[in-house]
Amino acid sequence: MSILICSSEPVPTSVAKALPGDKSISHRVLLIAAATDGESRLRGINLCGAVFPLIEALRQLGATVDIDDGEMRVGTIDRNLRTAPVLNLGPSSAAARLLLGLLVGLGVEAVIDGDETLRPRPVDWVVEPLRGLGAELEYLRAEGQLPVRIGRSRLREGIAHLTVGSAQARSAVLLAAWAAGVAVDVRQAIHSRDHTQRLLCSLGCRLDVRSNGVSLTPAAPPSFPFYEVPLDPSAVAYPVAAHLFRGMVEPLRIDGVCLNPTRTGFFETLRDCGIAVSYSGIVDRFGEPVGSLTVEGDWDADSLEVDNPDRFHAMIDEIPLAAAVATRLPGLSRFGGAEELIFKESNRIESTAAMLRAFGAEVATAADGFTVRGGVELTASRAPSFGDHRIAMTAAALGTSLAGRTVVEQGECTETSFPHFAETMRGYGFDVRADVSGGAA
Ligand code: S3P
């Protein structure tokens, strides 16, 4: 176990600012590359702890995956494996749920499993709608959880009703239908990240988006020769927040960021707080808007109110960070409609509250979210992360603005989504160090 040690001491900025590629897009392009014929060349894949298990799973499924000098070459899944592989997707719910959908569509038998942190998280969000379309799926341990055995399914066209706003659930159903070559009408009232739709559109499929969902008319899978993944807005959010927490006056600009509006909720929330946020030089890259993000200025708002479902899903992974922003505002901020946070890498309603309280913040939790009372001075502290990367990175970003030494427990979890987090934060001038001795000295 390692810890992160953070302080407000400035460190020299360096050119080694390796912000990672988007994790969600990385998962999706790997899956699509492995389901299409011919070799795909992928650049900018986020080689984090949540993506590596998917690469290993694809190899077990017979697809070659060669990683060379930042470029990845991905072959095709063997649909006729003699024995059904047991695929362990480690801690990654996206990898497990999306791969499950894809294999159902391809008619490949396998067992999908995860580590002890993933097993208790719900997989029925995906299994039940797929069963409704004819998928043969069996829970092997506990109802609604991994591991799940995929039988040799034949998917039929139809309507899939989703009970949660999860983009992973919708993506799993869309990938299943696409791989099986059947039309599907996904009924889901909430709009969450739409990378799968954009990718399938770029592959010639027809997608009709309505207020109550999206329908897919698939096109025969063509080849998928090349894709370059833009920077992950959910990772970019940490140096941006640290910059603002520190009250730095000069603008911070980061280029090559995925600026898909289903992902920019945190930056829009900063704008609501009075920060000048601008998006510039936007180009269309493989159907995704990619450009420069610039932030500048100081807080000029009393409090935050985050309870619109579309906004919530556009910043679902940045809610802990937005809660940290709320500690900087004078008033009482409220985060509602956030029940899905219970099913993240930790119960993020409780873990966000516990982490912020460690700094002295006043946070009250409820079943569907929490409130943060601003205007309370925070102090450097030893903060728990619960092994949840988003909680650890939020605590570290906050720690870089507080006088004295902040220690973040289980700091190694940052690798789940952000390889070399500490080094990258230092590259931006923020004092974050990983200490593998666990602070024993
Ligand atoms: C993801 C969707 C979100 C997000 C997760 C990645 C994806 O989860 O929290 O980090 O890649 O589709 P849900 O779809 O479960 O909300």
Q: Which of the following is catalytic: 22, 113, 185, 317?
A: 317
One domain for residues 392 and 247: yes
Q: Which atom of ligand 1 is nearest the CA belonging to 28?
A: 11
Q: Which atom of ligand 1 is nearest the CA belonging to 417?
A: 10
Domain boundary among 173, 204, 224: 224
Residue 441 lies inside a defined structural domain of this protein? no
- According to DSSP, the β-strands at 406-408 and 382-383 are parallel
Dihedral sign, Cα of residue 273, residue 365, residue 358, residue 413: negative
One domain for residues 257 and 141: no
Residue 167 Cα, ligand 1 centroid: separation in angstroms? 6
Burial class (CB in 10 A: 0-12, 13-18, 19+), 29: buried
Residue 184 lies inside a defined structural domain of this protein? yes
Residue 285 lies inside a defined structural domain of this protein? yes
Residue 284 lies inside a defined structural domain of this protein? yes
One domain for residues 251 and 176: no
Q: Which atom of ligand 1 is nearest the CA belonging to 24?
A: 11
pTM score: 0.97
> Which amino acids bring their CB within 6 angstroms of ligand 1?
24, 27, 94, 166-168, 171, 192-193, 316-317, 340
390 Cα distance to chain centroid:
9
Number of domains in the chain: 2
Q: Which of 93, 163, 195 to mutate to test the pocket of ligand 1 (most atoms within 8 A of CB)?
A: 93
- Residue 220 sits in a domain of what CATH number? 3.65.10.10
Measured in Å, how far apart are the chain's first and last C-alpha atoms?
14
CB 301 within 8 A of CB 270: no
Residue 120 lies inside a defined structural domain of this protein? yes
pLDDT-derived band at 440, boundaries 50, 70, 90: low
One domain for residues 289 and 426: yes
One domain for residues 118 and 235: no
One domain for residues 341 and 203: no
Report the range of poorest mean pLDDT among 118-122, 140-144, 151-155, 242-246: 151-155
pLDDT-derived band at 248, boundaries 50, 70, 90: confident
Residue 78 Cα, ligand 1 centroid: separation in angstroms? 27
Is residue 208 annotated as part of the catalytic site, yes or no? no
Q: Whose CA is nearest to atom 11 of ligand 1?
A: 24
Q: Which of 118, 171, 193 to mutate to test the pocket of ligand 1 (most atoms within 8 A of CB)?
A: 193
One domain for residues 15 and 62: no
Residue 440 lies inside a defined structural domain of this protein? no
The average pLDDT across 289-303 equals: 96
Closest CA to 141 of 92, 193, 209, 86: 86
One domain for residues 399 and 354: yes
The average pLDDT across 392-417 equals: 97
CB 149 within 8 A of CB 111: yes
Residue 344 Cα, ligand 1 centroid: separation in angstroms? 9
One domain for residues 358 and 385: yes
Q: Give the pLDDT score at 142.
A: 98
**CA angle, corner 210, sides to 208 and 214, nearest 5?**
55
Residue 128 Cα, ligand 1 centroid: separation in angstroms? 18
Q: Give the pLDDT score at 441.
A: 44
Q: Which of 166, 196, 319 to mutate to test the pocket of ligand 1 (most atoms within 8 A of CB)?
A: 166
Tokens of 300: 């000029």
Does residue 221 register a pLDDT over 90? no
Q: Whose CA is nearest to atom 12 of ligand 1?
A: 168
CA distance 98 to 354: 31
CA distance 3 to 255: 30
CB 438 within 8 A of CB 1: yes
Residue 166 Cα, ligand 1 centroid: separation in angstroms? 6
CA distance 170 to 167: 5
One domain for residues 110 and 124: yes
One domain for residues 173 and 63: yes
The average pLDDT across 91-109 equals: 97
Q: Give the pLDDT score at 187.
A: 97
One domain for residues 117 and 263: no
Domain boundary among 189, 224, 259: 224
> pLDDT higher for 181 or 68?
181
- Each residue's pLDDT tens digit, 336-388: 999 999 999 999 999 999 999 999 999 999 999 999 999 999 999 999 999 99
> pLDDT higher for 16 or 231?
231
Residue 357 lies inside a defined structural domain of this protein? yes
Q: Whose CA is nearest to atom 16 of ligand 1?
A: 166
Q: Nearest 5°: phi and psi at 65?
A: -135, 110
Question: Domain range spanning residue 52?
Answer: 23-224
Does residue 71 register a pLDDT over 70? yes
Q: Which atom of ligand 1 is nearest the CA belonging to 23?
A: 11
The average pLDDT across 213-226 equals: 93
Residue 97 lies inside a defined structural domain of this protein? yes
Helix/strand number for the chain, H first, E second: 13, 23
Domain boundary among 224, 242, 272: 224
Residue 346 Cα, ligand 1 centroid: separation in angstroms? 14
Q: Which atom of ligand 1 is nearest the CA belonging to 171?
A: 12
